[in-house]
Amino acid sequence: MAQITQIENRWEITGDIEMDNANALLMASNELAIVDNTLVDFSNVKEIDTAAISLILEWTRRAIEENKQLKFVNLPANLNSLTQLYGVADLIN
């Protein structure tokens, strides 16, 4: 089971991000504030699939709407590979 929590300007994700739990993570993240220079930390994420890219894009859209900036840190290697494959690496890094 994946979870997302906020500690000051950092969103910490734990667990796996996959199709079956991505929507729950998105709903939970809607309760978190995006403050200036919010870091979204993937250091405790082990398994991912393409749903992680969808989440990142949704969070990016929200940050733009709120005129804030997000930075994604400690991305798993397989997520970096997927962002390259789908041509969205520049949007995420």
CATH code for position 67: 3.30.750.24
In order of 18, 29, 31, 93, the CA distances from 74 in angstroms are: 17, 18, 22, 11
Percent of the chain with pLDDT over 70: 99
Assign 47 a pLDDT band (cuts: 50, 70, 90): very high
Total number of domains in the chain: 1
Assign 59 a pLDDT band (cuts: 50, 70, 90): very high
CA angle 89, 4, 17 (to 5 degrees): 50
SS3 40: strand
Q: Which tokens in the block code for residue 9?
A: 């300007």
Q: What is the mean pLDDT of residues 46-67?
A: 94
Assign 27 a pLDDT band (cuts: 50, 70, 90): very high
CB contact at 8 A, 4 and 11: yes
Is residue 91's pLDDT more than 80? Answer: no
Domain housing 15: 3-92
Can you give the pLDDT at residue 93?
64
Can you give the pLDDT at residue 92?
77
